[in-house]
Structure 1
Amino acid sequence: MPAERLHLVRHGEVHNPTRVLYERIDGFGLSEAGRGMTRAAAGYLADRPVTRLVCSPLQRTQESAEPFAEQFGLTPVLDERVVEPWNSFAGKRMKRAVLNPLNWRLLIDPSKPSWGEPFASIAARMIDAMADAWDETDSGDVVIVSHQAPIWIAHLAIAGEKLAHSPTTRRCALSSVTSFARRADGSFDEIGYAEPASAGVDLGAV
C-alpha cells in the first residue's frame, strides 16, 4: 500500500531574544515554550500511523522533530529541499531594516520576491520533496518538519493560487500541522489544517 497522508509541520517557537530574522543562521534553537509546542504537535498526530519522518537540516526543525522521533520510533531524514528560504535580511531586525534607504532596492519587486529566494523555486523544491517522501513510504503517514514560508508556499501551489503574497497573510502558526492526501494522478490535495499548540512568539520567520 502507498502512503496514506502527508503532514507539513512547522517548527516550534525559537529562542530569539534579539528578534532578528534568523533565516538559515546557525545557533537558533527552540525556546522552552517551543519544545512544549512540538510535543503538542506530535501528540496531535499520535493516533496516525506515522512511518516516515523528514525535516529541514536547521537546528530548530531538528529539535522540533524530536518528539515525533520518540513517539513513533523513527530516525529523521534530513532534506535540504524543505529548508528555510535564503533572505537578504538575514540577521537583521526587519522593522529597522525596511526603514533604511540602503535596503529599499531589495523591496522593489514583492512578487518575486526581490529580497530572497523566488517563490517559484520554493514551491518546486517543496513539491518535489513531498512527492519523493510519499513515494518512498510504503504505508502509513509522512511527517515533514519545515518552516513557515515553504509550508505556506506549498499550500498556495497545491491550491492553484498565486505564489506572490505578503508574509503577514500566511496561515501557518508555530507547530501547526497542514495535512495532505494524494490523488491517483500524483497531485496533492490539502485535507486539513490544525494548530495544536498554544500561541508562541512568532518572530524571526522569513
Structure 2
Amino acid sequence: MSSLNAPSSATVHLLRHGQVHNPDRIVYGRLPDFHLSDLGHQMAEVAGQALAQRREQGAKLVYLAASPLTRTLETAAPVSRELELEIHPDERLIEPKNHFEGLHVNGSQLARVAHWPYMVNPLRPSWGETYRSQVARMAEVVVEAARRAVEIGGDGAEAVLVSHQLPIWMARRSAEGKFLPHDPRARQCNLASLTSMVFDDVHAGLPPRVVYSEPAAHLYPGINQLPGS
C-alpha cells in the first residue's frame, strides 16, 4: 500500500471546562461572564499538566480549539500555555441553547404555566437545541479537528477541543451507538475530564473509539454539581 493510501490515525480529546463560580446555581447556558471558580482554575491547570505529560511521553498534540464562552476559554488557557498552542475559538463547541437560561430551576419554576410548552418532549428535548443538532455540529468539529491534526503532525497526531458537558456527552453517545435521550444524572463527563475520540483512520468514516479519564478527580470531593453545568 502506498503512503498516499495508508490509514491516518488521530485522537481528539474533548475537555470539559472546570468548575464555574455560580453561587446562585442558575442555568448559565450561553450567558457571558460566568468565570471559573478558584477550584475551576485549579482543575484547568491539572488538565493542562496532564496533557503536557502526555506530550512528554511522545504524543503529538498539535491543535487546540475551544467554545467561545468565558469558562471554556479560561479552561483552555493553561492548555495553551503548557502545549504552546494557539486557541482557536469555534462556535460549534458551544453550550446548547436552553429556555431556562438565567433561572434557578426548582419545583416552583417548573410549575409555572409559561414553561410547560418547553417541557412537552424531553426526548428531543423541547427546552433547547435538539440532541441530534448537537451531535451533528460536534461530529463535524471533531472529524475536522482529527484531520487538521494529521495535516499538522502526521499520523497519530492529536487535538484538544474544550467544550461543555452535554455536547461532549452527545458526541460520546453517538460514537458509541447509544440512544441520545438519557438521564442527565448518569452522564460520565465530570469537570475538567477528557473524553478522547480515537480514530484508527480519519478518512474511513468510521466512528471513533472512546477513552474517558478524569485528571482532576482528586479535586472533586465536596463538589455539588448541576447536571449539564
Same fold (TM over 0.5): yes
- Distance, in Å, in 2 between the alignment partners of 1:93 and 1:5 is 37
- Distance, in Å, in 2 between the alignment partners of 1:190 and 1:103 is 39
Q: Does 1:12 align with 2:21?
A: no
Deviation at residue 2 of structure 1 after TM alignment? 4.7
Kept in 2: contact 1:178–1:190 (CA 8 A): no
> Which of these residues, 181, 189, 197, is aligned with residue 172 of structure 1?
189
- Distance, in Å, in 2 between the alignment partners of 1:3 and 1:60 is 30
Counterpart of 1:79, as a letter, is: D
Deviation at residue 25 of structure 1 after TM alignment? 0.3
- Distance, in Å, in 2 between the alignment partners of 1:154 and 1:56 is 15
Match for residue 33 of structure 1? 39
Match for residue 113 of structure 2? 101
> Which of these residues, 158, 164, 185, is aligned with residue 147 of structure 1?
164
Match for residue 21 of structure 1? 27
Deviation at residue 170 of structure 1 after TM alignment? 1.0
Kept in 2: contact 1:5–1:182 (CA 8 A): yes
- Distance, in Å, in 1 between the alignment partners of 2:39 and 2:80 is 19
Larger radius of gyration: 2
> Which of these residues, 53, 61, 66, is aligned with residue 77 of structure 2?
66
- Distance, in Å, in 1 between the alignment partners of 2:122 and 2:171 is 18
Gaps of 5+ in 2: 1-6
Deviation at residue 105 of structure 1 after TM alignment? 2.2
- Distance, in Å, in 1 between the alignment partners of 2:96 and 2:130 is 9
Kept in 2: contact 1:57–1:80 (CA 8 A): yes
Task: Decide whether aligned partners of structure 1 residues 20 and 94 sit closer, same or farther in structure 2, where only a CA change above 3 A counts.
Answer: same
Deviation at residue 57 of structure 1 after TM alignment? 0.3
Kept in 2: contact 1:23–1:90 (CA 8 A): yes
SS at match of 1:45: helix
Kept in 1: contact 2:185–2:227 (CA 8 A): no
| Match runs of 1:182-201 below 5 Å | 182-184=199-201, 185-197=204-216, 198-199=219-220, 200-201=223-224
Deviation at residue 74 of structure 1 after TM alignment? 0.8
Counterpart of 1:122, as a letter, is: Q
Deviation at residue 102 of structure 1 after TM alignment? 2.7
Gaps of 5+ in 1: none
Q: How many residues align?
A: 206
| Match runs of 1:46-57 below 5 Å | 46=52, 47-48=54-55, 49-57=60-68
State the 4+ residue runs in structure 1 displaced beyond 4 angstroms: none
Counterpart of 2:104, as a letter, is: R
Q: Which has the larger displacement, 184-193 or 14-23?
A: 184-193
Deviation at residue 180 of structure 1 after TM alignment? 1.4
Counterpart of 1:179, as a letter, is: S
Q: Which has the larger displacement, 26-35 or 95-104?
A: 95-104
SS at match of 1:191: strand
SS at match of 1:136: helix
Match for residue 111 of structure 1? 123
Deviation at residue 141 of structure 1 after TM alignment? 1.1
Q: Does 1:80 align with 2:91?
A: yes
Counterpart of 2:213, as a letter, is: A
Kept in 2: contact 1:155–1:190 (CA 8 A): no
- Distance, in Å, in 1 between the alignment partners of 2:119 and 2:65 is 33
- Aligned residues: CA RMSD: 1.6
Q: Which has the larger displacement, 153-162 or 101-110?
A: 101-110
Deviation at residue 17 of structure 1 after TM alignment? 1.3
Deviation at residue 100 of structure 1 after TM alignment? 2.6
SS at match of 1:5: strand
- Distance, in Å, in 1 between the alignment partners of 2:214 and 2:224 is 14
- Distance, in Å, in 2 between the alignment partners of 1:113 and 1:160 is 19
Match for residue 3 of structure 2? none
